[in-house]
Amino acid sequence: MKKSSILILISFGFTVACNDPKGEVENDSLADATADTAVMYPDERGRIEADAVEIKDVGEDFWNNINWEAPVVEDPDLQGSDIEKREEKEYNIYSMDDRLLFDTDKAQIRPEGEKKLQQIADEIKSLPQQKQLRIFGHADARASNEYNKELSAERANAVKNWLTEKGGIAGERISIEPMGETAPRATNETAKGRQLNRRVAVVVVTRE
C-alpha cells in the first residue's frame, strides 16, 4: 500500500512517579527513580522487507538529527486525545504523557494507553507501508543508567509489540533506540521538568 510518506516520532513520556494521567506531578523522589526511564536498546537495522514491501534504511545520520523541538501542528484526528503532534519536512513527532501508558514501575500498557496507541496506529497505517519507524526512549537524569535501560527496554518493546500485535503495524518496520538523558525537553532540576523528560518517541520516515 502506497501513500505519501511521513516519519512519525511518537513521544510517549515514561513517568515513574504517577499513575494518574491528569494529575499533578507526584512521588518524584530519588527512590522512585527506578521507574523513571524511557530508554531502549537498538534493534533491526539496515534494509528489511515487510509484507513483500522493501524497506530501505535511511541511515543513522537521519535518526541522529531529529529536531525534537519541531513545530507543533493541530491534527483534527487527534483533537482531545492528549497526543502532541510535531512536524518536520521528513517526519512527524507524536508525544504523550507516559502516565497514559504505564503504571509506576510497570511495563504493561494500561487500557487508557491502548486507546491512545490505537490512534497512533491509525495514523501510521494511513502512511506508506515501506517507511521505517524508530522508537526513541528518553529518561531524566535520575537513577542508574543500567536500570533505566532495563525498564525502558521492556516498556519500548511493550509499545512495539502492541503496535505489531494489535495496531496492525509490521514489526519489521520498527527499530528502537535508547536516548537516556541526552535530549531533555526541560530542566532536570524540577519535578515538572523531569516528568517532561521521561518520554518515548516513534518516528516514521517521509523522505523519498
Q: What angle do CA 64, 28, 111 make, to 5 degrees?
A: 75
Cell of residue 193, nine digits: 521538568
pLDDT at 104: 66
User: Looking at the domain assignment, is residue 190 inside a domain?
Assistant: yes
Q: How many domains does the chain have?
A: 1
Domain span including residue 49: 8-204
User: Looking at the domain assignment, is residue 194 inside a domain?
Assistant: yes
Return the CATH number at 66.
3.30.1330.60
Q: What does the pLDDT look like over 171-203, one tens digit per residue?
A: 999 988 877 777 788 897 998 888 787 787 888
User: Looking at the domain assignment, is residue 165 inside a domain?
Assistant: yes
Q: Are 37 and 151 in contact (CB under 8 A)?
A: yes
User: Looking at the domain assignment, is residue 56 inside a domain?
Assistant: yes
Exposed/middle/buried for residue 118 (C-beta within 10 Å: 0-12, 13-18, 19+): middle
User: Looking at the domain assignment, is residue 3 inside a domain?
Assistant: no
- pTM, two decimals, is 0.72
DSSP 22: T
Q: What does the pLDDT look like over 10-54, one tens digit per residue?
A: 444 544 333 444 455 545 544 454 444 444 444 444 344 444 578
User: Looking at the domain assignment, is residue 31 inside a domain?
Assistant: yes
For strands 133-138 and 199-204, give the pairing: antiparallel
User: Looking at the domain assignment, is residue 2 inside a domain?
Assistant: no
User: Looking at the domain assignment, is residue 191 inside a domain?
Assistant: yes
Amino acid occupying residue 150 = E
Indicate the SS3 state at residue 83.
Answer: strand
Cell of residue 134, nine digits: 524508530
Rounded to whole angstroms, the Cα distance separating 153 from 27 reads 22
